[in-house]
Chain A
Amino acid sequence: MAGTLSLVAGVCISAAAAYIGSLMLSKRMVLVAGPLGHLALPGIALALLYGFDVTLGAFPFVILGIILIWIFEMRTKLPTEALTAVVFAFGVAVAFLFLPLEQAEAALVGDISRVGFWDALTSSLLSLTVIAALRKSYDRMVLISISEDLARVEGVDVRKYNLLYLLLVAVVVSLGVKVVGGLLTAALVAIPSAASRNVSRSLSEYSSLSVVFGVSSCVLGMAVSSFFDVPAGVAIILAGTAIFIVSSVLKK
């Protein structure tokens, strides 16, 4: 029973993460998702310490992270890599300030096997809501990532969609920490879409394959983790990486 619950929650969250990952077409969009998982770490640490839900702990920190990155990006105009390095290190350091070491594994690589019934239900529903919201705005978000100018000429409210996008990213990252932990959330978002990009020739192929790859890595990873003594989060990311490697070989 517990296994089914965590599988369902894991699959829903992975699907949402992979779907939003397929929208990370421009550099700026990748920037926001990359370091956010790391910034969520202090929130996860607090949640584990005081025994509340890690997603609840992560969410405010992710929102704070989005605001911080946005401000840094505007004020410093530093390259993405530099900002990511700063934010990454900061998140990890702050987390270890007060994270009890015996809890570190759950914070860093997640522990989906812990989810209870209500937890699994709300996570799955939230993931499905994210997917629905993305489906509805997908075309406009693609247009924005191709060219904000063109989108605005077409009458798309770019700021509204950027905000919605950031919010959805925050939700996905906060949910993702349950499955793969703070260190690997970015991978849950980025790997399936990267693999999908290798083999797809159209946008519909790209987004649907991305979800397929995300879900498969989750199922595969959780299966592996139940047979061998490997944390599920680690196995999921390794399964995703394996899919990515295969897709790179198949790339034409």
Chain B
Amino acid sequence: MRVRNLTVKLDGEVVLENVSFKVKEGEVLTILGPNGAGKTVLLRALLGLVPYEGKVEWKEGVKVGYVPQRLPLVKDVPLSVGEFFKLKNAPEREVERALASTGVRRDIMKKRVGELSSGQFQRILIAFALVGEPQVLLFDEPTAGIDVGAEETIYTCLERLRRERNLTVLLVTHDLSVVYKFSSACLCLNRRVLCFGTPKRLTPTLLSRLYGGKIKFYEHRHG
């Protein structure tokens, strides 16, 4: 997959400018950047959900699954987990396979989606994206609102899924440790591309350029 000179304007404001990068099959690309850097917009542009200028080229016939950041409206809907998957209109076997590979127990199907813990909900969203057997998974900020204990397993789960299903993963995150542990490439984004390459190229100088003052927050990770 290749992206060239991607520019996205929302309400006349340039949100992303001249973004170019490549992702090879089986890679895990993390997309890093401070709040408002345009990470989610990038994913949405890749999916064709927002209008953009420039080129987004996928390998022909590739199927893409999308795990959105959160679904705030879903809590208001009296929807059981089973019914949520029915919205996808897929064979039951596939749904079961997707649920099993995200490590969700089957008895969850009767629960209301609004009653799930954020960790469970995250897994359900991943499973939802996996139904239909995509080769690429776009994953938006799985850390939002999830406690550290659960978060660790979400990434382990992702990594296992990637190996099992030979997935290519594009991952938006705030969490630097994820970059080193799981990704094969990373893209630092703050409206423009600040750097693109292997995680080793991430130096403290680069990070402070990316996050500005916020880098202090991450200091403990170098210890």
Query: CB-defined interface of A143-161 with B at 8 Å, one 1/0 digit per residue?
Result: 1011101101110000000
Q: Does A197 contact B (CB under 8 A)?
A: yes
Are B73 and A153 in contact, with the CB atoms below 8 A? no
Kindly provide the distance from the CB of B126 to the nearest chain A CB, expressed in whole angstroms. Answer: 13
For B89, the chain A residues whose CB sits under 8 A away are 139
Are A150 and B66 in contact, with the CB atoms below 8 A? yes
Instruction: Give which listed residue, A26, A147, A204, A205, contacts B68 with CB less than 8 A.
Output: A147
Kindly provide the distance from the CB of B139 to the nearest chain A CB, expressed in whole angstroms. Answer: 13
The closest CB in chain B to the CB of A154 belongs to B88
Q: Does B112 contact A (CB under 8 A)?
A: yes
Give CA–CA (A154, B128) in the complex, Å: 10
- Interface size on B, as a range, is 20 to 34
Give CA–CA (A200, B80) in the complex, Å: 10
Q: Which of B20-61 contact A (CB under 8 A)?
A: 44, 47-49
Q: Which of B74-118 contact A (CB under 8 A)?
A: 74, 76-80, 83, 86-89, 112
Are B78 and A200 in contact, with the CB atoms below 8 A? yes
Instruction: Give which listed residue, A26, A140, A197, A202, contacts B83 with CB less than 8 A.
Output: A202
Are B49 and A202 in contact, with the CB atoms below 8 A? no
Are B49 and A203 in contact, with the CB atoms below 8 A? no
Kindly provide the distance from the CB of B47 to the nearest chain A CB, expressed in whole angstroms. Answer: 6
Instruction: Give which listed residue, A140, A153, A197, A202, contacts B66 with CB less than 8 A.
Output: A153
Kindly provide the distance from the CB of B117 to the nearest chain A CB, expressed in whole angstroms. Answer: 18
Q: Does B71 contact A (CB under 8 A)?
A: yes
For A139, the chain B residues whose CB sits under 8 A away are 86-87, 89
Please give the number of chain A residues whose Cβ is less than 8 angstroms from any Cβ of chain B in the complex.
22
Instruction: Give which listed residue, B48, B65, B71, B86, contacts A147 with CB less than 8 A.
Output: B71
Q: Does B210 contact A (CB under 8 A)?
A: no
Kindly provide the distance from the CB of A240 to the nearest chain B CB, expressed in whole angstroms. Answer: 19
For B193, the chain A residues whose CB sits under 8 A away are none
Give CA–CA (A75, B77) in the complex, Å: 29
Q: A139-B87, A201-B112, A202-B112 are in contact. Are A146 and B47 (CB under 8 A)?
A: no
Are B112 and A145 in contact, with the CB atoms below 8 A? no
Kindly provide the distance from the CB of A146 to the nearest chain B CB, expressed in whole angstroms. Answer: 5
For A197, the chain B residues whose CB sits under 8 A away are 78
Q: A26-B73, A142-B77, A202-B78 are in contact. Are A149 and B49 (CB under 8 A)?
A: yes
For B66, the chain A residues whose CB sits under 8 A away are 149-150, 153
For A26, the chain B residues whose CB sits under 8 A away are 73
Q: Does B64 contact A (CB under 8 A)?
A: yes
For A150, the chain B residues whose CB sits under 8 A away are 66, 68, 71, 128
Q: Does A244 contact B (CB under 8 A)?
A: no
The closest CB in chain A to the CB of B88 belongs to A154
Are B44 and A149 in contact, with the CB atoms below 8 A? yes
Top 6 A-B residue pairs of the complex, sorted by shortest distance between their CB atoms: A202-B80, A153-B66, A206-B78, A143-B87, A203-B83, A200-B78
Question: What are 12 contact pairs spanning A and B, CB under 8 A?
Answer: A26-B73, A139-B89, A142-B87, A146-B73, A147-B71, A150-B66, A153-B65, A154-B88, A197-B78, A201-B78, A202-B78, A202-B79
